Amino acid sequence: MQPFRVFLRLKAISSKHRFKAMKIQWLSIFFLSLSNYALAQQTGTSVLEKFLQEKDFLKLEASYRQQKDTLSELNSLYYGAFIDNASNRCTQSAKKIESLLKYHKSELTPQTAPPLLNVQMDNFVKLNAYRKAAKVGEQILASYSTFLDSAKVADLKNTIKLWRALENVPPQQITKVESRVKWTRDKIGLMNIPIRIGNQVSDFVFDTGANLSTISLSYAQKLKLKIIATSIDLGSSTSIQNQAMLAIAPSIFIDKTELKNVVFLVLPDKNLQFPQLDFAIHGIIGFPVMNLLREVQIARDGQFYIPPSVSNNVGQNLFLDELTPVIQLQVGDDTLLCHFDTGAMKTELFKKYYDANKSKVESEGKIDSIGRGGAGGVHKIEVYKIPLSTFTIQGKKVALANLPVLTESVGDFDAHFYGNIGQDIINQFNKMTINFQSMYIDFN
């Protein structure tokens, strides 16, 4: 387990070529396990705690609503803070945590306080309050470092360094105007949208799985972005340490919509190059920009539309695991929580699914291997490829051929989630709406 880790997560492109994008792992997995159901044992809220431990926030919210009138103020604020955070209601979540720390601090334990502070740090990150995020991280380090091993302490210090480097950067802002652009696929099949920075228009990968927008060093220099002299450690999936800098774009445009003070992680060019394909990625638009847009509509015919105002046509079916969107996938009678990742060409199921369905997977699947790795190299992972799989997403049937089921863990995130939904599912629909205000994804 590698909590609070910044690492290069490879996207499924093919069994031979995989794409690197940014993923920030907080300490949430460690801190949630640290609680050991302490709050539940003390207060009888075992169902709520069970769903919180599983990161099943849709069930958590439903159960919370049923019990809300009988919950103590402590429990109402505590679980409500997690629910609001996962539902992208970060201001409300932050206020609940402030109330807990003001009125119930003595009732919080070394088991329940750290996950709460971790959520508060995530709230401030999403609200672009970088100085406050760093301060909360420092509070965790000062008060609870005895609960962390040396690797976790190093991870936390590294992440504090990230937000401290941004503490004087103004919040990201948006001037939203109805906008339309044409999205295209690049040489390796990833979705790109045109981004204008200054007088330069460039195609950037549109990637819901990227926790930070990302740019190559040479391109950041070409566009004259303000590079922040810092060094952020990145652990790749091959455990090789790499380093990145940060850059700020004072202004970027998607058609007529302007975004200001956009933060980019700056990677060495080699980390975004595919020499075997004679191809390089210049930049990636990640979650923080999408969150500012609030809603985008993507049609299979190539239209990328930013509406002037958001709609609310669908009930919530989306939540956030820190900066990663999560939706439900139905497989028979089972409901699987999966990452939603427009930067992944292929859907894959994680080891959690393999462990729960080992006999079925091994009897139906064919043994194969896929390459996974980072800047430090690629290693092979054994998978079972299921010849034909049928799923239901939002009541709509989808089918996939040769679906890979991983037999090895690829990161902390697969302890709670069953898979990664990629473009092979998305492409089966004519239109997709992603809404980060009402928190839903709608496929038509």
Q: Are residues 363 and 422 in the same domain?
A: yes
**pLDDT range class, residue 35, cuts 50, 70, 90:** low
Weakest-pLDDT range from 86-100, 274-288, 367-381: 367-381
- Kindly give, in sequence order, each residue whose CB lies less than 8 Å from that of residue 349, ignoring residues fewer than 6 positions away: 336, 403, 404, 405, 406, 418, 419
What burial class does residue 390 get, using C-beta atoms within 10 Å of its C-beta: 0-12 exposed, 13-18 middle, 19+ buried?
exposed
**Average confidence (pLDDT) over 107-125:** 93
Whether 3 has a pLDDT exceeding 80, the answer reads no
Pairing of strands 191-197, 200-206: antiparallel
Q: pLDDT of 280-316, one tens digit each? A: 999 999 999 999 999 999 999 999 999 999 988 788 9
Supply the pTM of this predicted model.
0.89
Q: Are residues 275 and 390 in the same domain?
A: no
* N residues, the chain: 444
Record the tokens describing residue 59, joined without a space: 């069930």
Specify whether the CB–CB gap between 426 and 302 falls below 8 A.
no
Q: Are residues 115 and 178 in the same domain?
A: no
Residue 32 pLDDT: 53
Neighbouring CB atoms inside 10 A of 277's CB total 12
Q: Are residues 208 and 154 in the same domain?
A: no
Q: Residue 53 domain-assigned?
A: yes
Q: Return the percentage of the chain with pLDDT > 90, whole number.
A: 71
Whether 411 has a pLDDT exceeding 90, the answer reads no
Closest alpha carbon to 7 in 307, 345, 219, 239: 239
> How far is the C-alpha of 224 from the C-alpha of 218, rounded, in Å?
10
Q: Residue 32 domain-assigned?
A: no
Range of the domain at 241: 173-306
Q: Residue 82 domain-assigned?
A: yes
Weakest-pLDDT range from 27-31, 227-231, 404-408: 27-31
Last residue of a domain, one of 286, 306, 326: 306
First to last CA, the chain: 38
Whether 87 has a pLDDT exceeding 90, the answer reads yes
Backbone angles phi, psi at 92, to 5 degrees: -65, -40
Q: Residue 390 domain-assigned?
A: yes
Task: List the Cα angle 57/94/247 in 5-degree steps.
Answer: 95
Specify whether the CB–CB gap between 233 and 6 falls below 8 A.
yes
**Average confidence (pLDDT) over 350-354:** 96
Last residue of a domain, one of 116, 135, 166: 166
Residue 251 pLDDT: 98
Last residue of a domain, one of 260, 283, 306: 306
Q: Are residues 217 and 292 in the same domain?
A: yes
CATH number for the domain spanning 50: value is: 1.25.40
> How far is the C-alpha of 306 from the C-alpha of 313, rounded, in Å?
16
Residue 413 pLDDT: 72
Q: Residue 3 domain-assigned?
A: no
Whether 22 has a pLDDT exceeding 90, the answer reads no
Q: Residue 14 domain-assigned?
A: no
Q: Are residues 119 and 217 in the same domain?
A: no
Q: pLDDT of 159-190, one tens digit each? A: 899 999 999 999 999 999 999 999 999 998 89
Residue scoring higher pLDDT (35 or 218): 218
Q: Residue 313 domain-assigned?
A: no
Q: Return the percentage of the chain with pLDDT > 70, whole number.
A: 87
Weakest-pLDDT range from 183-192, 239-248, 268-277, 402-411: 239-248
Q: Are residues 117 and 177 in the same domain?
A: no
Number of domains in the chain: 3
Q: Residue 311 domain-assigned?
A: no
Residue 18 pLDDT: 35
Whether 38 has a pLDDT exceeding 90, the answer reads no
Residue 395 pLDDT: 86
Specify whether the CB–CB gap between 118 and 31 falls below 8 A.
yes
* Backbone torsion region of residue 21, taken as left when φ is above 0, otherwise alpha when ψ lies between -120 and 50, otherwise beta: beta
CATH number for the domain spanning 343: value is: 2.40.70.10
Q: Are residues 281 and 342 in the same domain?
A: no
Residue 392 pLDDT: 94
Residue 407 pLDDT: 96
Whether 5 has a pLDDT exceeding 50, the answer reads no
Residue 90 pLDDT: 98
Whether 240 has a pLDDT exceeding 60, the answer reads no
Q: Are residues 177 and 262 in the same domain?
A: yes
Residue scoring higher pLDDT (163 or 334): 163
Q: Are residues 162 and 58 in the same domain?
A: yes
Residue 28 pLDDT: 52
Neighbouring CB atoms inside 10 A of 324's CB total 22
Residue 31 pLDDT: 53
Residue 116 pLDDT: 95
Record the tokens describing residue 319, joined without a space: 């939540």
**Average confidence (pLDDT) over 370-374:** 66
Record the tokens describing residue 225, joined without a space: 């972005």
Q: Are residues 63 and 117 in the same domain?
A: yes
Q: Are residues 179 and 302 in the same domain?
A: yes
What average pLDDT does the structure give for the chain? 87
**pLDDT range class, residue 147, cuts 50, 70, 90:** confident
Whether 319 has a pLDDT exceeding 50, the answer reads yes
